[in-house]
């Protein structure tokens, strides 16, 4: 993380000092396109994670067949996104979009097209990281991801040296993601013990039951992957349309500290998914793991958030030359957002299949419905703080509270199902009140 932050800081300072706050905001907006459209994987990444995590019980042949079918579907998504991007470029729509918040050249428009195409082809290659999570080898993906910031900083410095940073900087971050995803993809297949050519050429073993199981998870995950970016990754777009250039730059600077710190939480929570999936038939173990992980992640989020409040002004000084360019309230709101996400993530990892993932999808849609209109209203009033305040409200009222209530009801249902038929009400209390007594939902 330290290396990534240093590389990102150097690259950001170079862009900011060379082209100003408005272009820097545009570069950061394009750099996060892939976080805004993860729904492009159709929610199938979650299906792959579950299948790989249960590979021992399902069998290698069944798992390989599922991976093949998912990959072929995602290839078609990449082709479709590429065709749409090229059409938008030729019709001038891409340039019109960029012109809405920054002065655009033909070179910049072409760089934007390259960035979108890179994001499109990162979709099928992103399956590699899902496989690593299912294999409980997230650490391998972390190591490989360290290549990305090195590509970014070296590319930005080269562009600055030849005087081309004003246009081509838009494509640098998405291209680095494409390279990282490609390396991760081939590494994941190697660790899974399967040759890519054999998996992709394997005959289909699909059944109606398997298809229904895939659709049950993927449809819910697709809804989540549409709603969550709309709720929490659309802030820059809202700021670019309803705020000022300085507000967009302030948010982007704060987000460059927030994003890598949040990635620590995300990466740390990823191994919980296969563990929850593997223990899906062990309710006692599930409750214990959820309770412990929620408390641990909450404590970690509090510590990291406190450090972030001090780090954001220093980063602002390094990149923009002004210690107070990012207002303190913005830094505090980023820290609060980190804390709430840290508390929420174990619950999201727990709700990974069946009815649970459907409830998670409902909560994600509710969050999007809260954030977008609220952020649009607050941005002209609060600037960079507006979308952050909307995000905090959504996490608490649309996700944390409803999902904890759902898990509490699920705990009571499991407790009732496990009671012997001859138990009285008094005796049933002695069998365990884990769900009622837990500090966090179980």
The better pLDDT of the pair 77, 383 is held by 383
The answer on pLDDT for 436 being more than 50 is: no
- Tens of pLDDT, residue by residue over 350-365, are 887 767 888 988 999 9
Q: Please check whether residue 51 is in contact with residue 127, taking contact to mean a CB–CB distance below 8 angstroms.
A: no
- Reported as a single tens digit per residue, the pLDDT across 195-250 is 666 556 655 555 444 555 556 566 777 788 788 878 888 888 899 889 888 898 89
Average pLDDT on 129-138 reads: 84
| Residue 143 and residue 51 share a domain | yes
Residue 186 pLDDT greater than 60, yes or no: yes
pLDDT digits (tens, 9 = 90+) for 302-326: 999 999 999 999 988 888 888 888 8
How many domains does the structure of the chain reveal? 2
- Binned at pLDDT 50, 70 and 90, residue 42 comes out as low
Choose the final residue of a domain: 176, 206, 236. 206
Residue 165's pLDDT is what?
81
CA distances from 388 to 71, 241, 329 (A): 35, 16, 10
Residue 173: other Cβ atoms inside 10 A: 26
pLDDT at 442: 42
Average per-residue pLDDT for the chain: 81
Residue 87's pLDDT band, with cuts at 50, 70 and 90, is very high
Of 149, 173, 206, the position where a domain reaches its end is: 206
Q: What is the pLDDT, as a whole number, of residue 168? A: 86
Q: Of 206, 235, 259, which residue sits at a domain end?
A: 206
Residue 180: pLDDT above 90? yes
Judge if 185 and 286 occupy the same domain: no
**What are the tens digits of pLDDT across the range 274-301?**
788 777 667 777 788 889 999 999 999 9
CA angle in degrees (0–180, nearest 5) for 291-297-301: 145
Asked whether residue 234 falls in the same domain as residue 143, the answer is no
Q: In whole angstroms, how large is the CA radius of gyration of the chain?
A: 23
Give the range of the structural domain holding residue 327, as residue numbers without chain letter: 209-442
Note whether 298 and 346 are within 8 A (CB). Answer: no
- pLDDT of 347 higher than 70: yes
**Tokens 């660790």 correspond to what residue?**
191
Q: pTM, whole model, 2 decimals?
A: 0.66
| Candidate ranges 39-48, 94-103, 171-180; pick with highest mean pLDDT | 171-180
What is the SS3 string spanning 180-235? Answer: HHHHHHHHHHHHHCCCHHHHHHCCCCCCHHHHHHHHHHHHHHHHHHHHHHHHHCCH
Nearest-angstrom CA–CA distance, 323 and 382? 20
Rounded Cα gap, residues 270 and 272, in angstroms: 5
Q: Verify that 396 and 304 share a domain, yes or no.
A: yes
Specify whether 41 is located in the same domain as 157.
Answer: yes
Say yes or no: 57 and 200 in one domain: yes
Same domain, 14 and 152: yes
Residue 9 in contact with residue 318, Cβ under 8 Å?
yes
Same domain, 170 and 215: no
In sequence order, the 6+-apart residues with CB closer than 8 A to the CB of 143 are none
Question: pLDDT-based confidence at 429, cuts 50/70/90?
Answer: very low
The answer, yes or no, to whether residue 267 has pLDDT greater than 70, is yes
Residues 238 and 360 in one domain: yes
| Average pLDDT score over residue span 161-183 | 88
Are residues 196 and 223 both part of a single domain?
no
Confidence band, pLDDT 50/70/90 cuts, at residue 343: very high
Q: Of 61-75, 144-158, 194-208, 363-377, which gets the smallest average pLDDT?
A: 194-208
**Average pLDDT of 90-101?**
82
Which positions ≥6 away from 350 have C-beta within 8 Å? 272, 276, 286, 289, 290, 356, 407
Buried b (16+ CB within 10 A) or exposed e, 250-274: bbbbbbbbbbebbebbebbbbbbbb
Question: Of 20 and 36, which is predicted with more confidence?
Answer: 20
| 46 and 102 housed in the same domain | yes
Same domain, 181 and 227: no
CA distances from residue 99 to 4, 96, 105, 167, 241 in whole angstroms, order as listed: 30, 5, 9, 13, 11
CB proximity list for 284: less than 8 A, separation 6 or greater: 434
């Amino acid at each position: 993380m330290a290396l990534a932050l240093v590389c990102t800081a150097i690259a950001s300072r170079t862009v900011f000092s060379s082209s100003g706050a408005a272009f820097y905001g545009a570069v950061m907006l394009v750099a996060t396109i892939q976080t805004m459209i993860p729904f492009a994987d159709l929610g199938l990444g979650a299906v792959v994670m579950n299948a790989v995590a249960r590979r021992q019980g399902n069998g290698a042949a069944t798992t390989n067949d599922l991976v093949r079918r998912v990959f072929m579907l995602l290839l078609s998504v990449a082709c479709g996104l590429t065709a749409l991007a090229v059409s938008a470029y030729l019709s001038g729509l891409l340039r019109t979009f960029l012109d809405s918040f920054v002065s655009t050249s033909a070179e910049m428009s072409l760089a934007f097209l390259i960035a979108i195409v890179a994001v499109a082809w990162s979709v099928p290659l992103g399956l590699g990281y899902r496989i690593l999570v299912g294999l409980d080898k997230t650490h391998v993906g972390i190591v490989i991801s360290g290549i990305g910031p090195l590509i970014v900083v070296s590319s930005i410095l080269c562009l600055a040296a030849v005087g081309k940073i004003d246009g081509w900087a838009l494509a640098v971050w998405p291209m680095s993601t494409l390279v990282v995803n490609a390396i991760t993809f081939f590494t994941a297949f190697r660790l899974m013990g399967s040759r890519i050519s054999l998996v992709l050429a394997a005959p289909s073993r699909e059944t109606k039951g398997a298809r229904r199981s895939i659709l049950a998870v993927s449809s819910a995950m697709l809804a989540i992957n549409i709603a969550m970016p709309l709720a929490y990754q659309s802030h820059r777009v809202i700021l670019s349309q309803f705020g000022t250039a300085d507000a967009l730059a302030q948010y982007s600077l704060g987000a460059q500290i927030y994003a890598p710190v949040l990635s620590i939480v995300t990466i740390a929570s990823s191994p919980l998914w296969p563990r929850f999936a593997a223990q899906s038939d062990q309710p006692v173990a599930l409750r214990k793991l959820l309770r412990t992980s929620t408390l641990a992640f909450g404590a970690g989020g509090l510590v990291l958030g406190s450090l972030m409040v001090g780090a954001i002004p220093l980063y602002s000084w390094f990149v923009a030359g002004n210690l107070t360019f990012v207002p303190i309230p913005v830094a505090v709101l980023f820290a609060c957002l980190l804390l709430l996400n840290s508390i929420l993530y174990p619950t999201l990892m727990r709700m990974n299949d069946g009815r649970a993932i459907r409830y998670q999808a409902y909560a994600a849609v509710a969050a999007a419905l809260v954030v977008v209109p609220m952020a649009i209203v607050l941005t002209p009033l609060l600037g960079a703080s507006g979308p952050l305040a909307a995000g905090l409200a959504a996490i608490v009222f649309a996700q944390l509270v409803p999902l904890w209530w759902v898990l509490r009801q699920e705990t009571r249902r499991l407790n009732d199902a496990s009671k012997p038929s001859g138990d009285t009400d008094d005796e049933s209390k002695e069998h365990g009140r884990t769900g009622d007594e837990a500090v966090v939902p179980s």
